[in-house]
Chains A and B, each alone.
Chain A
Amino acid sequence: GNSVTQMEGPVTLSEEAFLTINCTYTATGYPSLFWYVQYPGEGLQLLLKATKADDKGSNKGFEATYRKETTSFHLEKGSVQVSDSAVYFCALRGPGSARQLTFGSGTQLTVLP
């Protein structure tokens, strides 16, 4: 079946540091890949997505590239801010009628001023 493995947290960085959160996946066929963010007390928000190999998703300074050869979709940001503190989830959507998402276990990011 489909699965997503995420870098375990928590991750603590100083403001303006570089961020990488690793994500690898196992899936049949050609999944679509996503990063979601969850702020305290809120639901999940879609951060970025990529639908095919070599696609790069980007939003709010975050980027991730769909690497089929390494089955990876690592999240990066060049300069984090305190407001980026949240839990980040990597997810995939495989083929199938329900198009459900399979999530990783999440990575807690804390950015210190």
Chain B
Amino acid sequence: ETGVTQSPTHLIKTRGQQVTLRCSSQSGHNTVSWYQQALGQGPQFIFQYYREEENGRGNFPPRFSGLQFPNYSSELNVNALELDDSALYLCASSLDMASGGYGYTFGSGTRLTVV
């Protein structure tokens, strides 16, 4: 079975720009979560999508938004980029909401640098 694929792997953007990160979930998984991992820190929960609806959100401003598509792939959009948005963005898929930490499969992440 395929794992979680994220693209691109690296990205450099200028402050104030907008960025879209993509995630293909593991086959059969219908729930996708996004995490932000700043350098030297643990991942922070951004939000989760289940069957194309956002069903949980962490302490991130509205300029962080997302989408989930019918094939359960997902996008993370960040508007008006700030220097502090520089981080590794991790996508994790799971079989269903209840799986939570049990069934998460993480991608390798997208390294975003804002200059």
Binding site for B on A (CB under 8 A): 4, 6, 32, 34, 41-46, 49, 89, 91, 93, 96-106
Contacts and interface: CB of A to CB of B under 8 A. Distances in A.
B56 interface: yes
A46 B99 CA distance: 13
Which 6 A/B pairs are nearest by Cβ-Cβ distance?
A: A98-B56, A99-B100, A103-B42, A43-B106, A100-B45, A44-B106
Given A43-B4, A44-B43, A99 B58 contact: no
Nearest to B98: A99
B71 to A, nearest CB: 20
The interface residues of chain A, by DSSP majority, are classed as strand
Interface residues of B, number: 29
B42 A106 contact: yes
Contact of A43 (B56, B99, B109): B109
Given A99-B98, A100-B58, A101-B101, A43 B42 contact: no
